[in-house]
Structure 1
């Protein structure tokens, strides 16, 4: 038993560990933001919109954190087979958390003030937020029809969008180091590249499983 358990564990844990590592920076940043809002912070230009209307950003941070971290443990086949009940219960929670994250993110995009040259980024955020919400709905509809293949495919797409903030650390980081904070078109494109890259990888995984 001990001899076979080690290889199984080695197959199960690398995927959740990698996904959690990818989302670590946004998760930490979100925890810092929630802690700040809970402590009656001094209002600055950076945090004024969050202090004035904290509920949407708190919902977004909590929903996105749970969606990314707990969702990472939904992918290994070994975990799903061993703890199918947990997989189903966690899936229900994740569907709600993902919708909360997507919808609150779109609400903030529309109603929070933004720099005047962020028009393209606003469009990207609304487009990918809508795609994430629709993917979750499609995943739920598929699993209720017992179409597990489509359920997994749509949830994988939703997760790829949801974890985009982690990939954006990789696309924005080198630019910030080299040129400072991006503005306008570069800022929008660097965000979009992360979402597109994640979705491209998700589509590759989906087609690989089909083959």
Structure 2
């Protein structure tokens, strides 16, 4: 029985596709907010509300913002299958850079969570969420890097997808905080749960994508066996 190779539209080969640009949209608001904070710390005009925690110790915030925006933008292109096929070397080099950026994002977030004064309007639950999801992001990057070093591509993709989903938590939290406060009012518990919902929602989407990809890979392998 002869297997006929699947044909791909020309556009999918020549362009990175819509996924990176959708991810850019999600990260746009926190990226703009972070950029304004950097301008402020560099001596520019105060475009955001004052934050004494950041003013007292700006270095971790600068590291976090610069690395988080870079990680989000560069990482978005790693999800382009067309780009991975066309430029595998670029994918590998960018991946190594992203490991360093991602770990800097996770560890700076954990440092701020542990050593900065508690953010006004948040409680113990938000503190625990930040510790859990920050640690989860760092662990996912390490596990993803270990997997690819061992040649396990599916596990590498799965762990890196989880790490990226957690990194984009701030983008989703723009929506969960807005919805949470609109529905339940402004309170410490609402804020904490809304923050946690942002990370949890992203992680749920990541798990759906991982399972769908795994199912698709299994179907492709079964089809290849039948056609061989």
User: What is the TM-score normalised by the length of structure 1?
Assistant: 0.90
* 1:20 corresponds to which of 11, 19, 24: 24
CA contact (8 A) 2:53 2:116 kept: yes
* 2:54 corresponds to which of 47, 50, 57: 50
* 1:124 corresponds to which of 110, 117, 129: 129
Question: Structure 1 residues 49, 40: CA separation in 2 closer, same or farther (over 3 Å shift)?
Answer: farther
Q: How does 1:146-161 map to 2 (within 5 A)?
A: 146-161=151-166
Whether 1:99 aligns to 2:96 is no
Aligned to 2:220: none
Give the structure with the higher percent helix.
1
Aligned to 2:198: 194
Which consecutive unaligned segments of at least 5 residues does structure 2 have? 1-8, 216-228
Question: What is the distance in 1 between the residues matched to 2:141 and 2:29?
Answer: 24
Question: Structure 1 residues 88, 133: CA separation in 2 closer, same or farther (over 3 Å shift)?
Answer: same
- Computed over aligned residues only, the root mean square deviation of the Cα atoms, in angstroms, reads 2.0
Question: What is the distance in 1 between the residues matched to 2:128 and 2:149?
Answer: 32
User: What is the TM-score normalised by the length of structure 2?
Assistant: 0.84
Question: What is the distance in 2 between the residues matched to 1:102 and 1:157?
Answer: 13
Q: Give the C-alpha shift of residue 67 in structure 1.
A: 1.1
CA contact (8 A) 2:99 2:141 kept: yes
Aligned to 1:29: 33
Question: What is the distance in 1 between the residues matched to 2:18 and 2:195?
Answer: 26
Question: Structure 1 residues 9, 166: CA separation in 2 closer, same or farther (over 3 Å shift)?
Answer: farther
Count of aligned pairs: 205
Question: What is the distance in 2 between the residues matched to 1:148 and 1:7?
Answer: 22
Aligned to 1:74: 78
Question: What is the distance in 2 between the residues matched to 1:175 and 1:127?
Answer: 21
